[in-house]
Amino acid sequence: NSRNDLHERTRSSIQTSTSLYSSSSPSSPISSPTAEDECDVLVLGSGPAARAIATLLSSPNAVDAAATSSPPLDVLLADSNYDRRWIPNYGVWQDEWLSIRDLFFSFGHSLDDDDCIDRTWSKTDCYFGGSFDIPAEERMRLDRAYCRIDRDGLRRCLSPENDEGGKARYRVLRARHVSKATSINIYSPAGSLVHDDEGSTILLQS
């Protein structure tokens, strides 16, 4: 299916109403919402994967707006820990990184090596610590380049302009979801996540 088809399905089936509830705990009684919002796509979380998805889907190049006569997707990313620094170190094979970079470029979003790559090794030495019957001290050298990601640089590149000086176009809501699945399409607290003909409604907590 083309990305145009995806865009049409998304806008017709996902109309997320995001409501902030004032209760201090997910187990507290649900009170009246303090705020409401709507979006085409709601992304929960703010780690590398969540920000990458939000960045790509909110890009004008995610769909051919001229062909569909539709505006770009309105993407909302929600996480109460949005401002928390990414702690882990991330690494990636250089050829895989180039594929990722090219994908983002095709969506009109640049991931520059100078901003996102901290260091590159032309060859990779692997130690398996005795696994696979390979002696712990034995080295396996791969003729494949490996990169260490600059986690702060990548975070900036996958952030909105008005937040961390990035170039992404998604919106940010510092809140978390409170719903937990107890069965198929059954969520607790009751009413915290509802799917119907009008779209999806999810309750978030600040």
Q: What is the pLDDT of residue 203?
A: 82
pLDDT, one tens digit per residue, over 164-201 is 778 899 999 888 887 888 888 787 877 778 887 777 88
Q: What is the pLDDT of residue 121?
A: 96
Write out residues in the chain with pLDDT < 70, as ranges.
1-35, 64-70
Q: What is the pLDDT of residue 32?
A: 54
DSSP code per residue over 36-92: EEEESEEEE--SHHHHHHHHHHTSGGGS-HHHHT-PPP-EEEE-TTTTSPP-S--EE
Which has the closest alpha carbon to 75: 100, 34, 44?
A: 44
Q: What is the pLDDT of residue 64?
A: 65
3-state secondary structure of 127: coil
Q: Residue 55 has which token pair?
A: 């960045």
Q: What is the pLDDT of residue 189?
A: 77
CA separation for the pair 33, 45 (Å, rounded): 21
Q: What is the pLDDT of residue 164?
A: 73
Alpha carbon separation from 132 to 126, 128, 136, 140, 141 (Å, rounded): 13, 8, 10, 12, 16
